[in-house]
Amino acid sequence: MGFPVNRPRRLRKNESIRRLVRETNLTVDDLIYPIFIEDGENIKKEIPSMPDIYRWSLDRVDEELEEVVSLNLPAVLLFGIPSHKDEVGSDTWNEEGIIQRAIRHIKKNYPQLYVITDVCFCEYTSHGHCGVLHNHDVDNDLTLENTRKQVISHAKAGADMVAPSGMMDGVVKTIREALDSSGFKDVPIMAYSAKYASSYYGPFREAADSTPAFGDRRTYQMDPANRLEALREVKLDIEEGADIVMVKPALSYLDIIRDIKNNFNVPLAAYNVSGEYSMIKAAGKMGWIDEKKVMMETLTSIKRAGADIIITYFAKEVAKTLKNG
């Protein structure tokens, strides 16, 4: 039975009824806020291509953390910018490395914050690639050995969760075995299971000093043209012990998010990446869009597609918007 008996506009008449029938609701409980922490002192350095996002030294990061806590955001994802880089990224397993010290600082002073660490090497290697190089390509298995050392170091420092982002084959299994054999069986893994070789990462590479010195990352990150491969990657990570799987980037891969949600019964994260953030910021600055409304619409679309968790540089702004109605 159709029109005139059925009139869908009845349920759009005013905000009260729209709220009652709304299918997707974005809350602060969905959000993880990434933070860049740089080795050094008295650093609060805005990232030119990412307005309102900063690199912080450990002696100043409380300015950021106090606001995160005040907004009731549940979790942060830490990225480190070290003072020392070498061919293998050895500072990633240095007990006094910038991330290790940051974890201890946060867990001591902000115990309510859930601390997730990015597990990769690109910020720490002199060549900017995500592992040990052999013949100008990343050696998968040698990189796994160093990953083992990195995650144990993060867990010892107090990380609540580790998030491997390098797209190495077998990385989830390697991490699970390393954590379990070292007494950290309760530390979960959020796997960057479907991480694409995307052009949307440009601003992040400026933020983290992680631009490759040569070539690109297409031998280990996924081809943006591929869909079914993402399902294979997710299945492998779940079999190897991933507790949460992720799609990165989010906005141009909403179909992948929905595919994974339809096929697997595990928590699903999506990374609203730097390029997605910067485009909205730039258009908002020019007055071409209503920045706040586009921000909320974008993140709602990511959740509507199936994401349970959204990693986003907008997390603080979303929290303020929701708080203020």
* Closest by CA position to 304, among listed 33, 76, 22: 22
Q: Which two tokens stand for residue 225?
A: 């043209």
What DSSP character marks residue 21? Answer: H
Neighbouring C-beta atoms of residue 291, cutoff 10 Å = 18
> Of the residues 44, 85, 235, 248, which is catalytic?
248
Q: Decide if 208 contacts 79 (C-beta within 8 A).
A: yes
> Can you tell me the distance from the alpha carbon of 145 to that of 137, in angstroms, rounded to the nearest whole number?
16
- Give yes or no: 248 in active site: yes
Where b means 16+ CB within 10 Å and e means fewer, 141-162 reads eebbebbbebbbbbbbbbbbbb
CA angle (159, 165, 170) in 5-degree steps: 100
Whole-angstrom CA distances from 262 to 266, 267, 270 are 10, 12, 15
Q: Three-class SS of residue 20?
A: helix
- Give yes or no: 195 in active site: yes
> Of the residues 85, 108, 195, 292, which is catalytic?
195
Active site residues: 195, 248
